[in-house]
Amino acid sequence: MSEGQDYGFDTLQIHAGARPDPATGARQTPIYQTTAYVFRDAEHAAALFNLQEVGYIYSRLTNPTVAVLQERIATLEGGVGAVCCSSGHAAQIMALFPLMGPGTNVVASTRLYGGTVTQLNQTIKRFGWSAKFVDFDDEAAVAAAIDDDTRAVFCESVANPGGYITDIPAIAAIADNAGVPLIVDNTSATPYLCNPIALGATLVVHSTTKYLTGNGTVTGGCVVDSGKFDWTASDKFPSLSAPEPAYHGLKFAETFGPLAFTFHGIAIGLRDLGMTMNPQAAHYTLMGIETLSLRMERHVENAMTVASWLEGHDHVEAVTYAGLPSSPYNSRVETVCPKGAGALFTVTLKGGYDACVKFVDSLEIFSHVANLGDTRSLVIHSASTTHRQLTPEQQDAAGAGPNVVRISIGTETAKDLMADLDQALNKAHG
């Protein structure tokens, strides 16, 4: 591909980062299933280990298959670089790792995936970090929650499970004014529907397990760096601005400029945390991304059809899909997700918890799994599964109450999905 050419999304999702294999001419990116790489000589090895030359050392750090995926996701997101890792949860820790230190905090949205809430509310305490959870619809509360120890602001573009859309430009302005980076989890929207970096985000994280791969075969995560944040503007981020002892005093921001965060993620994050993506997972995700735009168009089309139909069903109390005119988040679609509100939403059922359980057990086409973003339509009762570790108050704040079912609409025939939902709803209500 020619440098400087303004290629369209559909072209980039197939070609970005990939070239015919120089050794064999293979057109599809090979799976480089290797642990280590032979150095040209001792001088070459020393240069690689001293970060004086870019190349392959050991597959915990870098791998050619994974490198193609990193460049492709970074290109689609409009970032300068990316680091892939073993899961979406790993990506969140990788994103926070260069920013945080003992006694520091992250200001996070209350509307997050349940596992993320647990990770931020419980697990990161082991590092001496903490999280403040705020309703991100209350911009004044977000600004008030940021203090001298805050090192990042965290939200989801399209929140799991309810499909709520975050006003990213407004939150980005608050974070920018406070001199801290905004991290946006773009898993549910994908770069096809939403571009957080263009809206002001500093970093974007993904569970590549979901829509990017799209076929439910492998787990993976990715952190995308916008390259736009000045890590030297304050003394809050010494991992990036101050001398690094492990590399003889090298300063990442000074040495690598806009790519400082990306290089830190590889040279220290993957080196020491070891949250490596395996090359076969990268291969599956690369193949999935080739059809991302086509799949997302069908996901959105089906979601709009099914959500509109569910909203009028006798056994349904409410539907949270932001694409519906009745949604309080509908006005944000045009700005944040101009190509559609995604395919994830929740349904509140009349009959409460018992009706939800019967409904889930009665579905035939929908798969009852702890995943989303598959070509297959998926369903789960969040309160008893993905959000089970949360308090009732946290469940309600996340939109995952006991009378709520999360639905991830796939790419099947919409008429078949509605028929399956209808028969399950009727069974759930006797």
- How confident is the model over 313-353, as pLDDT tens digits? 999 999 999 999 999 999 999 999 999 999 999 999 998 88
Average pLDDT, the chain: 95
Q: Which two tokens stand for residue 130?
A: 């903490």
Which CATH fold topology does 292-428 show?
A: Aspartate Aminotransferase, domain 1 (3.90.1150)
Q: What is the pLDDT of residue 70?
A: 98
- 195 half-sphere exposure, CB direction, 13 A CA radius: 16
pLDDT band at 173 (very low <50, low <70, confident <90, very high): very high
- Pair 211, 293: CB distance under 8 Å: no
Q: What is the mean pLDDT of residues 213-239?
A: 97
Q: Is residue 224's pLDDT more than 80?
A: yes
Cβ-Cβ contacts under 8 Å for 114 (sequence gap 6 or more):
382, 386, 387, 388, 389, 390, 395, 398, 400
| Residue 394 banded pLDDT, cuts 50, 70, 90 | confident
Q: What is the pLDDT of residue 318?
A: 96
- In the chain, ranges of CATH 3.90.1150.10 domains: 292-428
Here the tokens at position 252 are 């990442």
Beta strands in 162-218 (DSSP E): 182-185, 203-207
Given a contact cutoff of 8 angstroms between Cβ atoms, the answer to whether 47 and 25 are in contact is no
Q: In angstroms, what CA-CA distances link 312 with 242, 316, 326, 346?
A: 58, 7, 12, 14
Predicted pLDDT of residue 144: 98
Q: Look up the CATH architecture of domain 10-99+181-288.
A: 3-Layer(aba) Sandwich (3.40)
Cα separation, 400 vs 381, whole angstroms = 8
Neighbours of 8 (CB within 10 A): 8
Asked if residue 64 has a cis previous peptide bond (ω within 30° of 0), the answer is no
Q: What is the pLDDT of residues 41-86, one digit of tens each?
A: 999 999 999 999 999 999 999 999 999 999 999 999 999 999 999 9
What confidence tier does 3 reach under pLDDT thresholds 50, 70, 90? low
For residue 82, what pLDDT is reported?
Answer: 98
The mean per-residue pLDDT over the stretch 127-153 comes to 98
**DSSP three-state, residue 90:** helix
pLDDT tens-digit profile of 254-281? 999 999 999 999 999 999 999 999 999 9
CB count, 10 Å around CB of 177?
10
- Tell me how far apart the alpha carbons of residues 143 and 22 are, in angstroms, rounded to a whole number: 51
Q: What is the pLDDT of residues 190-206, one digit of tens each?
A: 999 999 999 999 999 99
The pTM assigned to this predicted structure is: 0.95
pLDDT in tens, 287-313: 999 999 999 999 999 999 999 999 999
pLDDT of residue 4: 62
Strand partners for 348: 318, 404
10 Å Cβ neighbour count for 173?
15
- What local confidence, expressed as pLDDT, does residue 2 receive? 62
For the chain, give every residue range classified as CATH 3.40.640.10: 10-99+181-288
Structure confidence at residue 203 (pLDDT): 98
pLDDT tens for 342-391 read 999 999 999 888 999 999 999 999 999 999 999 999 999 888 777 677 77
How far does Cα 80 stand from its chain's mean position?
Answer: 17
